[in-house]
Amino acid sequence: MSIYDKASLVQIPSGYKSGTLYSVVPNTTDGDFDFTRGSTATRVNKDGLIETVASGVPRLDYPLLDGVVQDCPALLLEPTRKNECLYSKTLSSWSELSGGSLQTITNNDAIAPDGSLTASTITFTGTGISLLRQFTNKAYTSNKHSSSFYAKKISGNGSVFFGITDTETEFTPTDEWVRYEVNNVTPTDFGANLFLDLNFDCTAGDKIAVWGMQLEEGTYSTSVIETSGSAVTRTADAANGAGTSATFNDSEGVLYLDISALGTDSTIRQIAIGNSTNNVKFLYNSSSTAHRAIVKVSGTNVFDFTYTVSDIGFHKVAIKYKQNDFALWVNGIERGTDTNGSTPSGLSEIAFDDGSGGSDFYGKTKELMTFNEALSDTELEDLTSWDSFNEMATEQLYTIE
């Protein structure tokens, strides 16, 4: 018998429509998540291209590893962000502050990461340093900001310095499109509007393509937000409302997740079965590497344990709850236990939030499952140790898009 035969709810990103994220188990609408997002957004599709998704449609984002598109996507949930870079694809509005005589800028001259002929190229006819700058309409602020752009080498070996105001990082483009990021920057040059810099150190004959320039307030970069003359806002994703009282067991069970944070962030993000006073929930607590498990009964935490992982990438987490038998498993190892406490009542919904509409979870989810029994230690070890993605996803499921 497969461990999946024991699951009461299985969410492996596969089927969806506007307003709904389908779960694999149960095979009724009871297990489906209500989904909302009030704007369009982008994702990487199964062909490895950046694609615009309509408002209200969940995003199944396909990871790229060493330039190869992986077979299994993750559900992408992101916060509201605004791209303050007024022109994300064209360089026609960028000011040439130095080295203009060394280069020729051509817009719509290369195939971009979205498959369109919208990437700009810079061809160098001389050797030296050149600087392109785009001012935004956003006044200076000490809030954290992040910037990103795509670059690709057409010829030569030139390097690019990219950044926010006076904070830049050097990148050397490769033969493939790569997204480069400068994250968690506190602007220091006050008195004017924020700006982005593209600073090139090239020789005659070098040619570089760029696309998707982005500046956003936050400690990490998010998915591409295209602009063409004004700042554009992508609104937040939200997924909740899955399950009924028949889906979950108040007496015992397991919440299992295969999830990743989006970046370094101190904001608490949660996934919960239950409501504000009775729940079983996972939290990114105080940092994106602090994995916290809570079981709350009548407003009191009967189990509360935090385990800190080494990075913000994908980790497999299982929270077991049963009368006087609680445990947190992370990556195949039992990290914390408690042998004293009762279990919550009235579990009737699972949501990518704290159970009451707050602390929305933002991250990537390859898999979410619930079980109506407290699995054995052997089962929990196997469940949280499997290679990513899982056997069921690769052998028994297909993506419906």
Q: Tell me, what amino acid is at 52? A: T
Q: Domain 83-234 belongs to what topology? A: Jelly Rolls (2.60.120)
pLDDT band at 400 (very low <50, low <70, confident <90, very high): very low
**167-188 average pLDDT score:** 92
User: Using CA atoms, how far apart are residues 44 and 356, in angstroms rounded to an integer?
Assistant: 31
Domain boundaries, the chain: 3-79+237-395, 83-234
Fold equal for 3-79+237-395 and 83-234: yes
Q: Classify 309 as helix, strand or coil.
A: coil
Give the model's pLDDT for residue 386. Answer: 65
Give the model's pLDDT for residue 70. Answer: 83
Contacts of 1 (CB under 8 A, 6+ apart): none
Residue 233 clears pLDDT 70, i.e. is over it: yes
Q: Domain 3-79+237-395 belongs to what topology? A: Jelly Rolls (2.60.120)
- Cα 338 off chain centre by: 32
Quickly count: other Cβ atoms within 10 Å of residue 60's Cβ. 23
Would you list the DSSP string of 170-215?
A: EE---SS-EEEEEEEE-----SSEEEEEEEEEE-TT-EEEEEEEEE
Which range scores top for mean pLDDT: 52-56, 124-128, 138-142, 262-266?
Answer: 52-56
Residue 82 clears pLDDT 90, i.e. is over it: yes
Query: pLDDT above 90 covers what percent of the chain?
Result: 80
**183-189 average pLDDT score:** 85
- Per residue in 337-361, pLDDT (tens digit) is 999 999 999 999 999 999 999 999 9
Compute the mean pLDDT over every residue in the chain, rounded to the nearest whole number: 92
In this structure, what DSSP letter does residue 237 have? P
pTM comes to 0.94
Whole-number Cα distances in Å, 341 to 83, 178, 303, 354, 373: 47, 50, 7, 21, 17
pLDDT band at 100 (very low <50, low <70, confident <90, very high): confident
User: Using CA atoms, how far apart are residues 243 and 240, in angstroms rounded to an integer?
Assistant: 9
